[in-house]
Amino acid sequence: MSFLFPPELIKLPEFHSEQEKREYMQKMFTRKGWYPSIGTGGMGIDFVNKPEYIAEITHAGLLPTMSAVILALGNPEYREKLFGPREQRIIRNRTRFARQKNIEVLLDRIKKMRELNPYGIVAINLMHAVGDYKEMVEAIGNAGEKNEKGEVIGNGIDILVVGAGMPRDLGTDMLRFPHMKYIPIVSSAKAAKFMLLFAKKNKGRLPDGFYIEHPDTAGGHLGKRNVEDSGFDPVQTITELRQIIKDFYGENVHVPVIYGGGVSYREDIDRALEWGYDSVNIGTRALLTKESGMPDDIILTYYLNADKVETNLKSPAGLPSNAIPNPEMSAMDRAKDIVKDCISCIKTCQYLDAAKEALKAGKEKVITESYCIADKLSMTRHGLKGGLLFSGKGLEIIKNDILYRNQKTGEAVIPHIRQMIEFILNPENKRPTITG
């Protein structure tokens, strides 16, 4: 059946030219109600960059988010050269190779996405913590068709979403890319204020919006070093942020604020909009679809049969994270191999630091709870056992609802992106009550 979006939820229209899209975006970032009510989250290593996936989300009226994080490892050939059998690793400068291929894959993904989706509004996520952050900002900002002045006039990225840190010069960098809006990911109004202060002090552009990520329930890396003590209150956060926005932008300027983390049912969307957020981002549900880059076998074997999602799993980035416990995931333990295999994917890697300390102490093996995130997350991307299984906390509930279970046989099923959207927008699909 064809699904009609409820009129109280804003969906993006279909655009027929770049000018039409950009005119809409100006209204979208300055007037309440113009911003789409639902978007999808960005997940690294090419999980969310398939052109078909982006096109389906756009055609449904949602705002899709691609990823610019360690994209080379989404390519099976490049992953094999970097993390395959040791005898096949013939690359002398692994870091340079990985970063070069990250840009090549990024530009190829954007080009192919635009062939299916020439005028859709598309965002892209980038982590400040990655080692090639600066290079990727340049590549994203310069992607697309240019005029004689070198200005991007189409077929590029419309919104840059930056998380995993607070880059002080982001507002200044964005002066060179006027065609793109930018949205920092933060977990508190205080962090948003810092981003505004950085931009103002450096005479840069103020953020065009903010993405508030719940530090307890979101998937992957979380925004607080100690989640249990985060004390996060989504209502208090949006209230404080709205006042900060007035202080920096003026009394009558509306800046969109997006909420993410644990959004799984229509009631979650409605509640966030009632709190005062303009939009929500869907992460785990969008990942668990046929069109995403998550292999079907991994979804069926691990995600839809997970007993729990572990909070505060230690990450090599130095932050807690939410993920499905995977007993098959083991870290390399030879210090010299850890150092040799590193591609410098994140700026501060505790796994690498532990290996270097072990070598200094003359120890061959490293005893650490950390792991190589590039290796382990890319294993999952390519359907290999023993990989890292990031997930939002909502998985513990949603894995058993009618979207993922055949109600007659009880077997796990994987929906298409359109089916997922229909399900989450239907107010009759309620969050089940867990008893016992």
The alpha carbon of 234 is separated from its chain's Cα centroid by a whole number of angstroms, namely 20
Q: Report helix, strand or coil for 117.
A: coil
Binned at pLDDT 50, 70 and 90, residue 2 comes out as very low
What is the DSSP pairing of strand 152-154 with strand 145-146? antiparallel
- Is 315 or 411 the better-scoring residue by pLDDT? 411
Whether 257 is covered by a domain: the verdict is yes
> What average pLDDT does this structure show over 168-172?
90
Whether 426 is covered by a domain: the verdict is no
Q: Which amino acid is at 185?
A: I
Tell me, what CATH number does 219's domain have? 3.20.20.70
Whether 153 is covered by a domain: the verdict is yes
Binned at pLDDT 50, 70 and 90, residue 404 comes out as very high
Whether 152 is covered by a domain: the verdict is yes
Q: Which residues, other chains included, contact 233 with Cβ-Cβ below 8 Å and sequence gap of 6+?
A: none
247-286: burial string, b at 16+ Cβ within 10 Å, e else: ebeeeeebbbbbbbbbbbbbebbbbbbeebbbbbbbbbbb
Q: Which amino acid is at 217?
A: T
- Among 11-20, 331-340, 371-380, the minimum mean pLDDT is found in 331-340
**Rounded (10°) angle between helices 189-201 and 234-249:** 20
**Sheet containing 257-260: order of strands:** 38-40, 279-282, 257-260, 210-213, 181-186, 159-163, 123-127, 65-67
Whether 38 is covered by a domain: the verdict is yes
pLDDT the model gives residue 332: 67
CA distance 327 to 312: 16
pLDDT digits (tens, 9 = 90+) for 294-337: 999 999 999 998 877 777 677 787 777 788 888 888 766 788 88
pLDDT the model gives residue 1: 33
- Is the pLDDT at 285 greater than 60? The verdict is yes
Query: Residue 70 corresponds to which tokens in the numbers above?
Result: 């360690």
CA distance 22 to 205: 18
Q: What is the dihedral of CA 140, 180, 63, 315, to 10 degrees?
A: 50
Average pLDDT, the chain: 87
On whether the pTM is more than 0.75, the answer is: yes
pLDDT the model gives residue 159: 96
- Is the pLDDT at 368 greater than 70? The verdict is no
- Is 389 or 220 the better-scoring residue by pLDDT? 389
Q: Which of 3, 2, 1 is nearest to 427 (CA)?
A: 3
CA distance 351 to 369: 8
Transcribe 139-190 into DSSP letters.
HHHH-SEE-TTS-EEESS-SEEEEESS--TTHHHHGGG-TT-EEEEEESSHH
Question: Percentage of the chain with pLDDT > 70?
Answer: 92
Whether 352 is covered by a domain: the verdict is no
pLDDT the model gives residue 436: 46
Binned at pLDDT 50, 70 and 90, residue 68 comes out as very high
Rounded alpha-carbon distances, angstroms, from residue 259 to 118, 162, 305, 390? 27, 14, 27, 19
Range of the domain at 239: 18-293
Q: Which residues, other chains included, contact 221 with Cβ-Cβ below 8 Å and sequence gap of 6+?
A: 127, 164, 315, 317, 319, 320, 321
- Is 369 or 230 the better-scoring residue by pLDDT? 369
pLDDT the model gives residue 88: 66
Domain count, the chain: 1
**Rounded (10°) angle between helices 417-425 and 266-275:** 60
pLDDT the model gives residue 316: 83
Whether 47 is covered by a domain: the verdict is yes
Is residue 254 within 8 A of residue 29, CB to CB? The reply is no
> What average pLDDT does this structure show over 163-190?
90
DSSP at 278:
S
- Is the pLDDT at 3 greater than 50? The verdict is no
pLDDT digits (tens, 9 = 90+) for 186-238: 988 999 999 999 999 999 999 999 999 887 777 766 655 444 445 788 999 99
CA distance 371 to 355: 11
Whether 220 is covered by a domain: the verdict is yes
**C-alpha dihedral sign at 327, 329, 333, 334:** positive
Query: Residue 407 corresponds to which tokens in the numbers above?
Result: 């109600």
